[in-house]
Every structure is written in structure tokens, then in C-alpha cells.
Amino acid sequence: MRKLICRCPETQQPVDLKLYTDYATLARIWSNSVRFQCPHCGAEHVTNVEAAWLEDTLEVISTARVS
Ligand SMILES: [Zn+2]
């Protein structure tokens, strides 16, 4: 299981989508859009699962590189 993170297009801050999923589910909902209330700017944004997953993965890679 992993959580999905996407980035607010207004503030560029990471947003936890509170969507915990395993890889089988992820494959099924890969191209689905996800609507969420942004905690940073208060607006409602729409992203898709693929973009959120990639954002989260890149975050992990860059964190690993720093430490
Ligand atoms: Zn936002």
C-alpha cells in the first residue's frame, strides 16, 4: 500500500490525496481523475492517478538522493 501525493498548481505545495492503494488497484484506476479540496489554497483541483503517483515517486527519489 502506498499513498498518493500530488502538487497544488497554485502554490506548488504537495497535497496528500488520502488515497491509499495497492498496485493492483492502482493499475485499475491509473487513468481515473481524482477531485480533491486543496488544503493550501482552498480551491478544488482535479488531477489523475498517474500524475499523482509519478509526483510521489519523484519525491521519494529526490529525498533519497539528499540523505
Ligand atoms: Zn491548491
Q: What is the reported pTM?
A: 0.70
pLDDT confidence of 51, banded at 50, 70, 90?
A: confident
Residue 9 lies in a domain: yes
For residue range 9-26, list pLDDT tens digits in order: 999 999 988 887 788 888
* Residue 67 predicted with pLDDT over 90: no
| Dist. CA 11 → ligand 1 center (Å) | 6
Q: Which residues surround ligand 1, an ion (CB under 5 A)?
A: 8, 10, 38, 40-41
Number of domains in the chain: 1
The parent domain of residue 32 ranges over 2-49
pLDDT confidence of 54, banded at 50, 70, 90?
A: confident
Mean pLDDT, the chain, integer: 85
Residue 60 lies in a domain: no
**β-pair type (14-21, 33-37):** unpaired
| Dist. CA 4 → ligand 1 center (Å) | 16
Residue 29 lies in a domain: yes
Q: Which residues of 26-45 are buried (b: 16+ CB within 10 A; e: fewer)?
A: beeeeeeebebebeeeeeeb
